[in-house]
Amino acid sequence: MKAVGRFLFRKRGHGGAWHWTDVVTWIWLILGTIIMFGPALWLVSSSFKGPAQLAEFPPTLLPYVQEVANVEGHDTPLPLYMVTMEDGSTRVMAEIRRIGTSAQMVDPADPQERVSVPLVDRQPLREVGLALNNYVDPFLAFDFMRYLGNSVFVTVAATLLTLLTNSMAAYALSKYRFRGRDAVMLLIVATLMVPLSVILVPLYSVVSSVGLLNSLWGVILPTIATPTGVFLLRQYMLTIPDELIEAARMDHASEWQIYWRIVLPLAAPALAVLTIFSVVWRWNDFLWPLIVLSRRELYTLQIGLNTYAGELNVQWHYILAMTVVTMIPVVLVFIFLQRFITTGIAGAGIK
Amino acid sequence: MGRIALRNIRKSFQAVDVIHGIELEIDEGELVVFVGPSGCGKSTLLRLIAGLDKPTSGRIEIDGQDVTQTGAADRGLAMVFQSYALYPHMTVRQNLSFGLENQRMPRQEIATRVDAAARMLEIGELLERRPTQLSGGQRQRVAIGRAIVRNPTAFLLDEPLSNLDAELRGTMRAELSALHARLETTMIYVTHDQVEAMTLADRIVVLRKGRIEQVDTPLNLYNRPQNLFVAGFIGAPNMNFFHAEASDGLVRLPGGAEIPIAHEGPVTLGLRPQHLRPSARR
Amino acid sequence: MARFGETVGRVAALPLVLIARALDPLLRLWQRWTGTGGMIAFFLLPNMAIFGVFVIIPLVLNVVYSLTGGIDILLKDRPFIGFDQYGRLLECQDYLQPTTCREDQFWTAVRNTALFVFFQVSLMVCVSMITALILNRKIAGRGFFRAVFFFPVLLSPVVVGLIWRWILQRQGLMNLIVTNLGFDPVVWLNDRFYAFSAAVGVSTWAHMGFYTLILLAGLQAIPRDLYEAAEMDATPASRVFWRITLPLLGPNLAVVLVLALIRGVQIFDEAYVLTGGGPGTSTLFITQYIYEVGFASFLRNPGLAAAASILMGLVLVVLTLVQLGLSKRAEKERAR
């Protein structure tokens, strides 16, 4: 145990002394964890609060739900409050209705006797509870189910196509020598310099003229030829020994078969990294779908979320819940696959 | 100046014990060589003396002072790394001056020391070059120069010649020996090459698996090895071993020779190839 | 778990495998007709076709667009007006005062973007540098902390914008902290200065993890024994940083700086969701300007938007060329 402690608190100082760099290190790391994770956790916690609770200030840490009780003589459960009586004692009472600055309340055990209590003397009785409606309603009443489906479709289709086209191009660029190769590479590098915002207007016009405006395919197709993906895969394919390919050729394999049955399986680790990137990129896409889609039922989650959040009367309890839903796939990727991402970026990012 | 003592030094990494209870005293001005097969802990021991790692238990004393808790920076030692560890973005002169600048030495004195070391090591023309523009041998000299300018209590050298080709190694060995004679400073030298050890050392510390097998002058190690390992390790080609039986105070060899020995029972006989001579007799 | 994933993968891949197998005879035929060259073309075609149709052609068209006028989006309905759009954009009495310009919104956006890039990139590179230095040390749970800082990078800009919009509400978490520290609550998103600062801060929060990783990789490429030699030389920590770490990290740092600049100039998504360009036009950035002038606003003018986007594109081209040059130099340094 002592060894664990010594390991955890390894310091630059000597003889167990705290060097100033050690103090800064631990403060930074702890503060960093709070700042990086905190907002997302706050989002989740807030998403389970009902609209009334969301309007409170100061906000509470955990979501609370007001306790209710069934009282004889009333059809619906009545909310419970902690009431301070005139004699100073406190009682738990249920509220029937509010009239002006006082409330009509009853003791749940003695429903006949109605007492009028000034609003200031009562505190809602609360327990930790989740307002699950926040999550359910948007799917049932609003179109979020549809938005979710659109996002999933776009992400899956785009990723599959990205993997296919990028790997084919990477294969051609890594395993063949041909006259225009450098020109093609240069062209791909050039496209790196052309972000969406620079070609927004004409791209819209092009997509419109091929009839893909206002369709999910119009969202998908322009995004699948990623230069990063081609470079990533090419870099990896370069390490596949040429002898394997030559041996396959001698075995009368067609070029297509070589690509499909030898190179592609061997490039699996790089494909995995690109899959993760592509899933995250396509799921998170915003500007392009915003422009291409004007029919509400085609909106992806991101667009739908933004639209509802841009209304005059923002219903935060729904928005927060849907934001959490939008966040979930990426969080899953993060939890299970983050090691791939960080190594993938460290490798590709230096290029 | 330059007396180093190790008292009951132990070192473990996580659960693995690497150094077991080493006791050693090094005299002022000695050239002591740590030698042994790879994994024996010689480099680890050197790093403990340098202060780059801390012993798990035990004491390290320099000139009578306990420096076990002192940082590497404050022990007054200088180290020549196996990879030389020259700062690639600085010129040779800057590499040599760097440590002295940390001590806030006046610029004039730094320049004097740097020039003196450069003269001693014949790298004067290389002072404005970068390490990447130097050959292996030149880099090695710069690494040594960096250690010399600090006027350390002792030099620590971690396999300094292992990255050089064989011919250069021989030349550098002679130069290191000359350098030691000239500076008269304690040197602790780590190598896996026993030929280097035998030619350079005043005393050799033979290490195996974190323990000292024997500490002695090269000649004594050669002529009076205290155990089988030292006997087999020192000397090239290696000593030949035979199993034999001793009875009645004698060991009988096939061929009739008899060797008196104060031991009964199975023995291992060691014979150096150098001591064999062709003979006409059958 | 891995086994399950494997079987699912195999089942899911089945239709693809069948299609691929079906394609083989056709492609063999193609290969026989056209040889290797034909196959190379086949492999390159899908990707390059997409590039061509959705990147190269629009790039060329963009120039054409910028020379036309009118509000129609279809090129054929647009009259050719030469460099008028550029003239309009660049017509200014005092370039530092957006209100004296004909297209004041454009110049406001340019000024906002320039200020944003200056502050955000400086802040982010510093923060990333410190974090990378800290993560380079031998501490327990290094992998965990590396992931911690990288987490926000994965979040979608809409999610980022909404999380922070929620926190920066007048009755949100930020003001709770602020009031607990004894200050008055701040109207974060309705004040010109604070909204801009929020955009800078949120953008830094969302992206610093990425650059931290790149810098970390650069730091780890510096051999450990250089630090040990410096330790033997009794070098204080700050000197180690300025004289050893920073110079050796130089090329890497330059690449990170330019990458951050390139991304910074294009700022849109999370800022748009956070502030929508407001209050007023205090957080209007150039990409949003292009979006609004090209599509969203009442008085849209695709030609003007095209011209603006070309100007922005020129800036980006310069930055990207610089970045490629620095990248090459960084690789050469490492190879030495």
Q: What does the alpha-carbon distance between residue B170 and residue B168 come to, in Å, rounded to a whole number?
A: 5
CB B215 within 8 A of CB B182: no
CB B24 within 8 A of CB B216: no
Residues 297-316 of A with CB under 8 A from C: 302, 305-306, 309-310, 316
Where residue B17 falls (left for φ over 0; alpha for ψ -120 to 50; beta otherwise) is: beta
Q: What does the alpha-carbon distance between residue C174 and residue C167 come to, in Å, rounded to a whole number?
A: 6
Determine the average pLDDT of the residues in A139-160.
90
Q: What does the alpha-carbon distance between residue C250 and residue A168 come to, in Å, rounded to a whole number?
A: 36
| Smallest CA–CA distance from C232 into chain B, residue | B73
Q: What does the alpha-carbon distance between residue B86 and residue A17 come to, in Å, rounded to a whole number?
A: 29
Determine the average pLDDT of the residues in B270-275.
86
Q: What does the alpha-carbon distance between residue A179 and residue A173 come to, in Å, rounded to a whole number?
A: 11
Q: Nearest C-alpha of chain A: how many angstroms from C31?
A: 8
Q: Residue B177: pLDDT band by 50, 70, 90 thresholds?
A: very high
Cβ–Cβ below 8 Å for A14 and B70? yes
C-alpha distances in Å from residue A330, one per residue of A334, A338, B270, C6, C30: 6, 10, 70, 21, 42
Determine the average pLDDT of the residues in B114-143.
91
Judging contacts by C-beta atoms under 8 Å, the chain A residues touching residue B14 are 3
Q: What does the alpha-carbon distance between residue A153 and residue A164 come to, in Å, rounded to a whole number?
A: 17
| Interface test mutation site (partner C, options A147, A205, A260, A300, max chain C beta carbons within 10 A) | A205
Structure tokens at B29: 């001005």
pLDDT at residue A317 tops 90: no
Q: Nearest C-alpha of chain A: how many angstroms from C158?
A: 6
pLDDT at residue B112 tops 90: yes
Q: How many CB atoms lie within 10 A of CB B71?
A: 19
Q: What does the alpha-carbon distance between residue A218 and residue C266 come to, in Å, rounded to a whole number?
A: 22
Per-residue b or e along B220-259, where b marks 16 or more CB atoms closer than 10 Å to that residue's CB:
ebbeebeeebbbebbbeeebeeeeeebeeeebeeeeeeee
Q: Is B133 on the interface with C (CB under 8 A)?
A: no
**Is the bond preceding C302 in cis, omega lying within 30 degrees of 0?**
no
Task: Using a pLDDT cut of 90, give the percent of chain B over it.
Answer: 56
pLDDT at residue A350 tops 50: no
Cα-to-chain-centroid distance, residue B86: 21
Q: How many CB atoms lie within 10 A of CB C141?
A: 11
Q: What is the pLDDT of residue A351?
A: 40
Judging contacts by C-beta atoms under 8 Å, the chain B residues touching residue C249 are none
- Give residue B70's identity as a one-letter amino acid code: T
Cβ–Cβ below 8 Å for C228 and B102? no
CB B34 within 8 A of CB B188: yes
What lies within 8 Å, CB to CB, of A190 at 6+ separation is: none
Q: Is B16 on the interface with A (CB under 8 A)?
A: no
Q: What is the pLDDT of residue B263?
A: 79
Q: Is A62 on the interface with C (CB under 8 A)?
A: no
pLDDT at residue B24 tops 80: yes
Where residue A113 falls (left for φ over 0; alpha for ψ -120 to 50; beta otherwise) is: beta
B204 phi, psi to nearest 5 deg: -115, 135
| Smallest CA–CA distance from B14 into chain A, residue | A3
Q: What does the alpha-carbon distance between residue B96 and residue B198 come to, in Å, rounded to a whole number?
A: 30
| Interface test mutation site (partner B, options C227, C231, C233, max chain B beta carbons within 10 A) | C233
**SS3 at position B261:** coil
Q: Residue B282: pLDDT band by 50, 70, 90 thresholds?
A: low
Q: What is the pLDDT of residue A344?
A: 61
Cβ–Cβ below 8 Å for B85 and C228? yes
C-alpha distances in Å from residue C333, one per residue of A210, B3, C222, C249, C329: 47, 43, 12, 10, 6
**Is the bond preceding B106 in cis, omega lying within 30 degrees of 0?**
no
Determine the average pLDDT of the residues in B263-273.
84
Cβ–Cβ below 8 Å for A3 and B69? no
- Give residue C95's identity as a one-letter amino acid code: Y
**SS3 at position C272:** helix
Q: What does the alpha-carbon distance between residue C187 and residue C179 come to, in Å, rounded to a whole number?
A: 12
* Distance spanning both ends of chain B, measured CA to CA: 59
Q: What does the alpha-carbon distance between residue B132 and residue B139 come to, in Å, rounded to a whole number?
A: 9
| Smallest CA–CA distance from C236 into chain B, residue | B102
CB C175 within 8 A of CB C182: no
Cβ–Cβ below 8 Å for A14 and B14? no
Q: Nearest C-alpha of chain C: how many angstroms from A43?
A: 6
Q: What is the pLDDT of residue C216?
A: 92
Burial of A262 (0-12, 13-18, 19+ CB in 10 A): middle
Q: Residue A349: pLDDT band by 50, 70, 90 thresholds?
A: very low
CB A144 within 8 A of CB A324: no
**SS3 at position B37:** coil
Q: Is A56 on the interface with C (CB under 8 A)?
A: yes
**SS3 at position B61:** strand
Of A79-88, A191-200, A210-219, the range with the highest mean pLDDT is A210-219
- Supply the ipTM of this predicted assembly: 0.84
Q: According to the 3-state scheme, what is the secondary structure of A123-139?
A: EECEEECCCCHHHHHHH
Q: What is the pLDDT of residue A119?
A: 79
Q: What does the alpha-carbon distance between residue C322 and residue C172 come to, in Å, rounded to a whole number?
A: 42
Task: Give the largest Cα separation in chain C, rounded.
Answer: 80
Using CB atoms, which chains have 3+ pairs under 8 A with A? B, C
| Cα four-point dihedral sign C247, C249, C252, C253 | negative
Q: What does the alpha-carbon distance between residue C101 and residue C93 come to, in Å, rounded to a whole number?
A: 6
Cα-to-chain-centroid distance, residue C225: 36
Cβ–Cβ below 8 Å for C306 and A202? yes
Q: What is the pLDDT of residue C334?
A: 61
Q: Nearest C-alpha of chain B: how many angstroms from A20?
A: 15
Q: Which residue numbers of A have CB closer than 8 Å to B's CBs? A: 3, 14-15
Determine the average pLDDT of the residues in A116-122.
79
Q: Which of C72, C120, C63, C98 is nearest to C267 (CA)?
A: C120
| Smallest CA–CA distance from C204 into chain A, residue | A36
C-alpha distances in Å from residue B126, one per residue of B91, B107, B131, B133: 9, 20, 9, 9
Q: What does the alpha-carbon distance between residue A351 and residue C331 come to, in Å, rounded to a whole number?
A: 8
pLDDT at residue B207 tops 90: yes
Cβ–Cβ below 8 Å for B72 and C232? yes
Q: What is the pLDDT of residue A15?
A: 47
Q: Where are the beta strands (DSSP E) in chain A?
A: 64-66, 68-69, 78-84, 90-99, 102-107, 110-118, 122-124, 126-128
CB A254 within 8 A of CB C27: yes
- Looking up tokens 């086949």, which residue turns up? C42
Q: Which residues pair with B12 in a beta bridge?
A: B17
| Cα four-point dihedral sign B116, B121, B127, B131 | negative
A325 phi, psi to nearest 5 deg: -60, -40
Q: How many CB atoms lie within 10 A of CB A96?
A: 17
Which run of H or of E encompasses A284? helix A268-284
State the 10-residue block means of pLDDT for chain C, 336 residues long.
Answer: 67 79 84 84 92 91 84 74 80 75 85 94 95 88 88 92 90 85 85 92 95 91 92 89 91 87 91 87 90 80 87 88 79 64
- Looking up tokens 């310091």, which residue turns up? A11
CB B45 within 8 A of CB B92: no
Q: Which of C109, C95, C115 is nearest to C290 (CA)?
A: C109
Determine the average pLDDT of the residues in B94-120.
91
Interface B-C, measured as beta-carbon pairs within 8 A, has a size of 54
Q: What does the alpha-carbon distance between residue B280 and residue C176 come to, in Å, rounded to a whole number?
A: 104
**SS3 at position A95:** strand
Residue C234 has its nearest CB partner, among B79, B85, B99, at B99
Cβ–Cβ below 8 Å for B69 and A15? yes
Q: How many residues are recorded in chain B?
A: 282
Judging contacts by C-beta atoms under 8 Å, the chain B residues touching residue C247 are 89
